[in-house]
Amino acid sequence: MKESKKQSMIYRFKKITILGCGQIGLNTAIKMSDSGNIVTVIDKIPEKLTSLPEERIESRRIIPIIGDGTLESVLRGASTQDADVYIAATDDTSVNLMSSLVANYIFQVPEIASIVHHQGLEEFANKCGISIINPLSLMIEKLSDLNHNS
């Protein structure tokens, strides 16, 4: 008689760096830490980082960093070189793309996503190995889906 062996799922948490602690960055950080990941959040406005859950900061599941995420020194101080995922989630497309390029070309982060508010930059970002998220395109796509389902 053969014994059935249960295959256990081995989950390795990811190290995720998020630039921007506005609504998108904050909620993404919480969701990613809910999944057991270690999340570093960078913002140059200290008051925004106070929105992060205190218990996650105390347990080191979320690590707040004050600084300009377009600077190599700030990204290095946030251990971006050890990140598995980098997410640029500020409301400034230029800042998002600049920091994503640094994360990609200097720190060689394997997965990079950036919020881009201008459709004309999508091709550029894709050529640079950056996955883009365009909130306007997502909204239009969703509304179009709703219209087709009516």
Q: Is residue 141 part of a domain?
A: yes
CA angle 68, 74, 75 (to 5 degrees): 105
Is the pLDDT at 117 greater than 90, yes or no? Answer: no
Q: Return the pLDDT at 144.
A: 78
| Total count of domains within the chain | 1
Q: Which residue has the tokens 């101080």?
A: 77
CATH number for the domain that contains residue 63:
3.40.50.720
Q: Return the pLDDT at 2.
A: 47
For residue 45, give Cα distances in angstroms to 2, 29, 89. Answer: 61, 16, 14
Q: Is residue 84 part of a domain?
A: yes
Q: Is residue 2 part of a domain?
A: no
Is the pLDDT at 112 greater than 90, yes or no? Answer: yes
Q: Is residue 62 part of a domain?
A: yes
Quick: pLDDT tens for 58-101: 999 999 999 999 999 999 999 999 999 999 999 999 999 999 99
